[in-house]
Structure 1
Amino acid sequence: MNLYCKLPFGSFDKSNALIIDVAQKMGRTASSLAMKLSNLASLDPVHTARGISGLAGASKKDRAIWEEFHSNLTELAADSEVLFQDLFNAGNDTQVEVVSPSSYELKTLPTSTETTATIRVRRGQNFFRQSLLAAYGGRCCVSGLSIRPMLIASHIKPWAKFPTDRMNLRNGLCLSSIHDAAFDNGLITFSPNFELILGKKLKSVGSEPSVVANFGNYEGAPLRLPEKLAEPDPEFMNYHREAIYLG
Structure 2
Amino acid sequence: MLSNRWTIGQLKLAFHLYCRLSFGQLHQGNPEVVELAGLIGRTPSAVAMKLCNFASLDPAIVASGRKGLAGASRLDRQVWELFQADWEGLAVECAQLRQALRAEHGLPPEEADEAAELPEDFTGATRQVLIEQRIKQQFFRRAVLGSYAGRCCMSGLSEPGLLIASHIVPWWQDPANRLNPANGLCLSALHDRAFDQGLLSLDDDYRILLAEPLRRNADPFVCQVLQPLAGRPIRLPERFRPEARFLAWHRRHVFVDSGVGDSAAVSSGEFV
Scaled by the length of structure 1, the TM-score of the pair is 0.86
Instruction: State the secondary structure of the residue aligned to 2:165.
Output: strand
Question: 2:71 matched to which residue of 1?
Answer: 57
Question: 1:75 matched to which residue of 2?
Answer: 89
Q: What is the rounded CA distance, in whole Å, between the counterparts of 1:170 and 1:181 in structure 2?
A: 19
Instruction: State the secondary structure of the residue aligned to 1:96.
Output: coil
Q: What is the rounded CA distance, in whole Å, between the counterparts of 2:98 and 2:127 in structure 1?
A: 19
Structure 1: stretches of 5+ with no match in the other structure: 98-105
Which residue, out of 226, 235, 242, partners 1:215? 226
Which residue, out of 81, 90, 96, partners 2:112? 96
- C-alpha contact (below 8 Å) 2:28/2:34 kept by paired residues: yes
What does 1:1-247 align with in structure 2 at a 5 Å threshold?
Answer: 1-88=15-102, 95-96=111-112, 109=117, 111=119, 113=122, 114-205=126-217, 207-228=218-239, 230-247=240-257
- C-alpha contact (below 8 Å) 1:2/1:80 kept by paired residues: yes
Q: What is the rounded CA distance, in whole Å, between the counterparts of 2:168 and 2:33 in structure 1?
A: 31
Distance 1:191 1:95, change over 3 A: same
What one-letter code is carried by the residue in structure 1 that aligns with 2:27? D
Q: What is the rounded CA distance, in whole Å, between the counterparts of 2:119 and 2:23 in structure 1?
A: 34
Shift of 1:78: 2.3
Q: What is the rounded CA distance, in whole Å, between the counterparts of 1:219 and 1:111 in structure 2?
A: 45
Bigger relative contact order, structure 1 or 2, given CA contacts below 8 A and separation 6+? 1
- C-alpha contact (below 8 Å) 2:208/2:234 kept by paired residues: yes
Segment drifting more, 170-179 vs 76-85: 76-85
- By percentage of residues, which structure has more strand? 1
Distance 1:84 1:163, change over 3 A: same
Q: Which has the larger radius of gyration?
A: 2
Identity of paired residues, percent? 40
Q: What is the rounded CA distance, in whole Å, between the counterparts of 2:247 and 2:54 in structure 1?
A: 27
Q: What is the rounded CA distance, in whole Å, between the counterparts of 2:118 and 2:221 in structure 1?
A: 34
- C-alpha contact (below 8 Å) 2:115/2:131 kept by paired residues: no
Structure 2: stretches of 5+ with no match in the other structure: 1-14, 258-272
Distance 1:127 1:86, change over 3 A: farther
What one-letter code is carried by the residue in structure 2 that aligns with 1:221? R
Shift of 1:71: 2.1
Q: What is the rounded CA distance, in whole Å, between the counterparts of 2:40 and 2:111 in structure 1?
A: 18
Write out per-residue CA displacement over residues 158-184 of structure 1, whole angstroms, 9 at most, x where no aligned residue: 111221210112211111100000011
Q: What is the number of residues matched between the two proteins? A: 235
Write out per-residue CA displacement over residues 122-178 of structure 1, whole angstroms, 9 at most, x where no aligned residue: 211110110010011111110011111111111111111221210112211111100
Scaled by the length of structure 2, the TM-score of the pair is 0.79
Instruction: State the secondary structure of the residue aligned to 1:154.
Output: strand
Distance 1:124 1:86, change over 3 A: farther
Instruction: State the secondary structure of the residue aligned to 2:185.
Output: strand
Q: What is the rounded CA distance, in whole Å, between the counterparts of 1:108 and 1:143 in structure 2?
A: 36
Shift of 1:110: 5.3
Q: What is the rounded CA distance, in whole Å, between the counterparts of 1:194 and 1:108 in structure 2?
A: 41
Q: What is the rounded CA distance, in whole Å, between the counterparts of 1:153 and 1:178 in structure 2?
A: 12
Q: What is the rounded CA distance, in whole Å, between the counterparts of 1:123 and 1:85 in structure 2?
A: 12
Shift of 1:18: 2.3
